[in-house]
Amino acid sequence: MKKIKFQRATGTHDILPFDQKYFKKVSDILDDVAEFYGFGKLDTPIIEEAELFVKGVGADTDIAQKEMYALKTKGGDHLVLRPEGTAPIVRAYIEHGMMNRPQPIRLYYFGPFFRYERPQAGRYRQFWQYGLEVFGEDNPIADAQLIQIFYGILADLKIENVSIEINSIGDKECRPAYRKVLVKYLKSKASSLCVDCKKRVKENPLRVLDCKQEKCQKIKEEAPQMIDHLCLQCHQHFKKVLEYLDEIELPYHLSPHLVRGLDYYNRTVFEFFTTGPEGKSLALGGGGRYDGLVKLIGGKDVPAIGGAFGVERIIQIIKGGDFKEQKKPKERIFLAQLGDMGRKKTLGMVEEFRKAKISVSESFGKDSLKIQMARAAKVGAKYTLIVGQKEALDESVIIRDMDTGKQDTVKIVDATAEVKKRLKDQ
Ligand code: AMP
């Protein structure tokens, strides 16, 4: 028979046991920070209606046009694997009536996302993001504080050399006029733009500023800047955001052509970078204000701001840094057994020790006591508890002090309390 060999799907990765600690570290720090600032965790399903993203992130964005994993169910629903986190959170915020509660509402998430992108180093088709979203707050201090919180998470993760790029992309009042000026400029350079950007000039000219092609980058440098065309309200909002950032001394740079790839943003947009392997700049995450999105998706007119960070990118950095694994408490107890009866008794005892928060290890699959004792010594157990045939019949257990070799027999029902006492007395 022909040998069948399966591999993971292109652009996906397994999170092996060795790597779990990095994911846990990021998730634990996120949970701590989120709790401190009053963010509630919201897990949305991995599948959502396609229309949510087409409407939310915009029909002519790369995400909606090229990158969604779409499926049609037997019932005829058009679903997609979620490509980003904000639109689903907004959907849930509306669906669960959070709009009607006292605002602001602060929510966060941590989970996998899916984009059919060209796989390359650091870019996956299934990747993890964490994100924070704040609803019902239009004061610029919310923008500054969110940036501060994201910065704080990276600081807790000991990620250094973080820089923040920030810009304002205006709102529906002032962006149309800027758009005209930009289109005029881009048309004058049309012959030098990449194929995609030639289309973008007509459909979504701001996206040209987001193009990674070298020739478009050059054109971008000379392009008119949104910041020179902000209306009074947007100008004042942005000025305040920068004042707050100055006040808390965050290392930001004005990035006049930063636009972000999704349509829902307005006013403040930001991106975080650090220095990756080989000294290259690495985008860790970004976000911005999306004051119109709740209404666009069917809710009330609620201002909002949020951002998302790439977990693989962060792990790439912390792996190269001085990441220290939280030392697990040393296994103090080893449970050894002899014969089927002994094995059955020890199985229940593990659970008793777990409830008593005493870490135990065992080798239930092994029959030989010698092998089990060697294992107990290897894990550094202070006590080994042995249940042989005789002990199993008596409902008793031998407690062996691994340092002195001294052995005592106690009843199984008393074993947890006895071990607890001995560990405490040390
Ligand atoms: P975005 O949602 O596109 O603003 O991305 C936010 C962050 O998520 C980026 O800065 C990356 O760190 C990360 N990210 C986005 N797309 C991918 C991907 N395909 N693979 C790995 N990380 C990604």
In the reported structure, the alpha carbon of residue 309 is separated from the centroid of ligand 1 by a whole-number distance in angstroms of 7
Distance CA 230, CA 175 (A): 8
Q: Distance between alpha carbon 112 and the CA centroid of its chain, in Å?
A: 8
Closest by alpha carbon to 111, among 313, 310, 315?
Answer: 310
Percent of the chain with pLDDT over 90: 74
pLDDT at position 74, please?
Answer: 94
Nearest C-alpha to atom 18 of ligand 1 is from which residue? Answer: 123
Residues 358, 333: Cα–Cα separation, whole Å:
8
Parallel, antiparallel, or unpaired for β 383-387 and 333-337? parallel
Q: Residue 229: CB partners within 8 Å, gap ≥ 6?
A: 170, 174, 177, 178, 181
Q: Which of 280 and 101 is assigned the larger pLDDT?
A: 101
Q: Is the pTM of this model over 0.75?
A: yes
Confidence (pLDDT) at 63: 86
Q: Quote the tokens at residue 378.
A: 């290897």
What value does the mean pLDDT take over residues 92-107? 96
Strand extents, DSSP E, 53-154? 69-72, 78-81, 105-114, 126-135
Distance between CA atoms of residues 41 and 44, nearest Å: 10
**Residue pLDDT, tens place only, 21-63:** 999 999 999 999 999 999 999 999 999 999 999 998 888 888 8
Q: How far apart are CA 117 and CA 217, in angstroms?
A: 21
Q: Specify the residue with its C-alpha closest to ligand 1, atom 11.
A: 310
Phi, psi of 108 (to 5 degrees): -145, 165
Residues within 6 Å of ligand 1 by CB: 84, 115, 117, 123-124, 127, 129, 261, 283-286, 308-310, 312-313
Tokens of 129: 């993001």
Chain centroid to CA 350: how far?
A: 34
| Ligand 1 atom 21, closest CA | 123
The two structure tokens encoding residue 382: 């202070």
> What pLDDT shows up at residue 330?
65
Radius of gyration of the chain measured on its C-alpha atoms: 28
Per-residue pLDDT, averaged over 175-190, amounts to 93
Which residue's CA is the closest to the ligand 1 atom numbered 6?
285
Instruction: Report the distance separating Cα 236 and Cα 222, nearest Å.
Output: 25
Looking at residue 224, its pLDDT comes to: 95
pLDDT of residue 327: 59
Q: What is the model's pLDDT at position 331?
A: 64
Query: Measuring from atom 15 of ligand 1, which residue has the nearest CA?
Result: 310
Write out pLDDT tens, residues 127-167.
999 999 999 999 999 999 999 999 999 999 999 999 999 99
| Mean predicted lDDT score pLDDT of the chain | 92
pLDDT in tens, 319-370: 876 656 655 566 689 999 998 888 888 888 988 898 888 888 888 888 899 9
* Pocket perturbation via mutation, ligand 1, pick of 123, 163, 259, 282 by most ligand atoms within 8 A of CB: 123
pLDDT at 280 over 90: no
Span from the CA of 374 to the centroid of ligand 1 (angstroms): 47
Residues with Cβ within 8 Å of residue 250, at least 6 apart in sequence: 147, 148, 151, 164
- CA-CA distances (angstroms) from residue 367 to 338, 350, 378? 6, 18, 17
